[in-house]
Amino acid sequence: MAEETIAALATPPGEGGIGIIRISGYKSFDIAREIFLSSRRNIDEIKDRYLYHGYIKDFSNDKVIDEVLIVFMKAPYTYTREDVVEINCHGGIIPVKETLELIYSHGARPAEPGEFTKRAFLNGRLDLSQAEGVIDLITSKTNLLKDVALQQLRGSLKEKVENLRDDLMTIMANLEAKIDFPDEDIEVLSQDELMQIVQSNLEEIKRLISSYDKGRIIKEGINTIIVGKPNVGKSSLLNILLGEDRAIVTEVPGTTRDTIEEVINLDGIPLKIVDTAGIRQTEDKVEKIGVNKTKSLVEKADLILIVLDKSRPLSSEDYDILKLCENKTAIVLLNKSDLKSRLEIDKIREYFSENNILNISALEASGIDRLKDLINLLVFEGTVYQQDSFVITNVRQYSSLKKVEKDLESALNAFQNLLSEDLISIDIKNALEALGEISGDTVSDNVIDEIFSRFCIGK
């Protein structure tokens, strides 16, 4: 990578006000000088981090391609810690395309997905956890995930990992001193002191691990399905939550024959919600497929919204749905509460807690705020994420932390059972290696390549 200069469009392709092209590598300044015609001064006089006006020009045929603003940024104080040039073109498809082709013809190559951030990682500007914060920040669909990703990008997890590694290195140094110089009078920490460090680090690891359930929901959302028999108001509920008419609503039972999937930002929580086909006995082949698919989705859902028609008595189909969702995280919504109630609510309490039963009216859009509050209560136990708190959102980081937990528990057990320093040091080394997987110090090239392949090309 150090021998190659890369370039790519850093803004979305298509028509827009500005298209920003980024060049990174040791040849970036030379390439820019060969294609940029300054409107005010000689190119050799351009200063670091000054924005200059001029033109991109193919001097080989005396053709001006675009009027631009350009900035030269010297290493190491750049995103990649390499020499970087950014060209602000007009955001049309043709000016950007011709400018990039000219850059490539002068010695740069197209950047791979995530290669700019990968270079930032390899050159020591970011650790791997910060790089993963970059992709989460780019792909965040809620303000909550954005805040969490920004915190990780700023190095919150990096700092925690570094502190943990420093403590474990202290333990290793003391253990190795005892192993290598058993008869020397070397001042080392006592076994109780070393055990206390292990215990303290183990508690911190457990706190990080326990945050993953909340973090996973912030990042991935809640897999939520709406179930009920036909014509009870499932699609109307979906439309209200979305704030638009996404699902077809009619008085004809069985209108929704397949699932409709949408993502709703529910007070910062991504709600991956599925409106399912109504569950009932049917001879219609297409509808039957939809019903079977609904039953399958119930098994995988994090949250189930059961919609019942409060204006009608419970039917055998309603009972089948209640039994299907029993012992799962579910909210029972008694729809059409604007009409006279004919529903046997006591029967529903046999399956679900009173606290999880709500009256709503999809027609009048009433009860929806209470539904949102209850979802937050079920998901976050009523607590609201604070900006200064920390959560793990990444399954790779979570898996590495679980390894650290296992190794530290083994080390603590070895200390308590007065096992040899050699055996204890093996557990500490394994814990250090697992922590290195989070920061990227001990991770394989294949894992690194896989992580950065998820980035867009310009980042």
**DSSP codes joined into one string, 88-147:** EEEE-HHHHHHHHHHHHHTT-EEPPTTHHHHHHHHTTSS-HHHHHHHHHHHH--SHHHHH
Q: What is the CA radius of gyration of the chain?
A: 30
Walking along the chain (459 residues) 10 residues at a time, the average pLDDT comes out as: 89 92 96 92 78 94 95 96 96 94 96 95 94 91 85 92 94 87 74 93 95 85 85 83 54 46 76 70 53 74 89 89 87 88 88 90 86 79 56 93 96 90 93 95 89 87
The H or E element that residue 275 is part of is strand 269-275
Task: Enumerate the β-bridge partners of residue 266.
Answer: 269
Residues 6+ apart with CB under 8 A from 445: none
pLDDT of residue 250: 37
- Within its chain, how far is the Cα of 381 from the centroid? 21
Closest CA to 198 of 402, 403, 400, 408: 408
Backbone angles phi, psi at 225, to 5 degrees: -125, 145
SS3 297: helix
Q: Give the Cα separation of 179 and 188 in Å (integer).
A: 12
Cis upstream peptide for 76 (omega within 30°): yes
* Helical H segments across 23-79, by residue range: 28-35
Output the CA torsion 441→447→452→455 (10° steps).
-130
Taking each helix axis as running N to C, give the angle between helix 28-35 and helix 93-105, from 0 to 180 degrees, rounded to the nearest 10: 120
HSE of 87, CA atoms in CB hemisphere, 13 A: 35
SS3 405: helix
pLDDT of residue 439: 93
Q: Using an 8 Å Cβ cutoff, are 227 and 317 in contact?
A: no
Per-residue tokens: 336: 């059409």
Burial class of residue 120 (count of CB atoms within 10 Å of its CB; 0-12, 13-18, 19+): buried
Could you say which DSSP state residue 55 is in?
E
CA atoms 102, 103, 104, 110: torsion sign: negative
pLDDT of residue 339: 85
Residues 6+ apart with CB under 8 A from 153: 130, 133, 134, 137
